[in-house]
Amino acid sequence: MNKEYYDFIYDEQQIKKMFNILKPLEKDEVYFISLSARKKYLTDEEKENIQLTKMEMFQRKLVKEYKFSHFLKTVKEYEMRIGSVLSKGNDTIVPQKCMLIYLTINPCSSSRALKRFYSKSQELLFNSYSDKSLIKNFRRISSMLNTCFQQSMNKSKFIDIDMDIGHNNNFLYRLAKEFDEKKVEYHIIETKGGYHILVEKDTIKYNYTKIIQSLNIEAKKINEKYEVIINENGMIPLPGTLQAGFKVRFVPRNLL
C-alpha cells in the first residue's frame, strides 16, 4: 500500500462484477457513490483526536454513464493523496483505517432529486432572516444537493438484506437455503460486519420478511448489537475495495 495516497482498490474484477449486475441507467438515472468514514473503526484515543460523527460522507459522486470505464474512473478518484480528507469536527486528517466506499444498489432519479432540492432550497432561502444564517445555508447548498440525490433512489432491481452478525455462516446458510428452495435470485457480499444479500426483486414471489424477522430475533439473543434487517437506504460497501482494511467481496454460493 502506498502510504502517501489512500489506496482503496484491491481487485478491479470484483468491482466489475458489481457493475455487471447493476441495472443499466435509463432516462435521468445516476448511481451515487460516497467516500465515508465510520467512527466505530477508531480507537477511543483516535476518536478524541479526529472527532468524527457516527458516519461522515466525503466527496460524494454521481456515475452518469453506464460504462465500466466511467464507473471505475469514478472509484479511482478517491485514491487521493493522504491529507485530502479532513474531519468536519476539527480539520484533522482522516486515516484510511476508518474509511470505505459506499454505492447505491439501485439508480437514483435526477428529476426526483432536483424537485426535492428545489423545495429545500426555497425553504432555506425564505427562512433565512439574517445575513449570517443566509451565508451558513448557502455554504451547505452543494451538500444538500448530494443528499437529495442519495434520497431519490429508485427501488427498481435489488432489495438489500443487511446481516450485521459478524461472519456467522449459520444465519447466511439458512437464508440462502430458503431462497434456493423458493428459486429467489440473490448475490452475497461479505463485509467487515457481516453480509449484504442483494435480492433480485422480480424473483420474490412470497412473503420473505418472515425469515428476516426470525433471524433477527435469534441474532439479538446472541448479541444485542447483531441485526438482520432490510437495508432501506440501499447503500453497501463496494466489492473490490477495502472497508476499514477489510476486503469486501462476493461470496460464491458453492462455498456456503
What is the per-residue pLDDT across 202-229, written as a single tens digit (0 to 9) for each?
999 999 999 999 999 999 999 999 999 9
Pick from 34, 107, 108, 37: nearest CA to 75: 34
Q: What is the reported pLDDT for 48?
A: 85
pLDDT at 94 > cutoff 60? yes
What is the per-residue pLDDT across 241-256, written as a single tens digit (0 to 9) for each?
999 999 999 998 776 6
- Nine cell digits for residue 73: 474512473
Q: How far apart are the first and last CA of the chain?
A: 31
Q: How far apart are CA 172 and CA 189, in angstroms?
A: 11
Pick from 186, 224, 223, 229: nearest CA to 204: 186
Per CATH, is 158-232 categorized as 3.30.70? yes
Q: What is the reported pLDDT for 27?
A: 87
pLDDT at 18 > cutoff 60? yes
- Radius of gyration over every alpha carbon of the chain, rounded to an integer in angstroms: 19
The SS3 call for residue 211 is helix
Q: How far apart are CA 140 and CA 161, in angstroms?
A: 32
pLDDT at 153 > cutoff 70? yes
pLDDT at 187 > cutoff 80? yes
Percent of the chain with pLDDT over 70: 93
- CA 18, 21, 24, 29 torsion: positive or negative? negative
The domain locations on the chain are: 12-107, 111-142, 158-232
Find the mean pLDDT for residues 83-95.
86
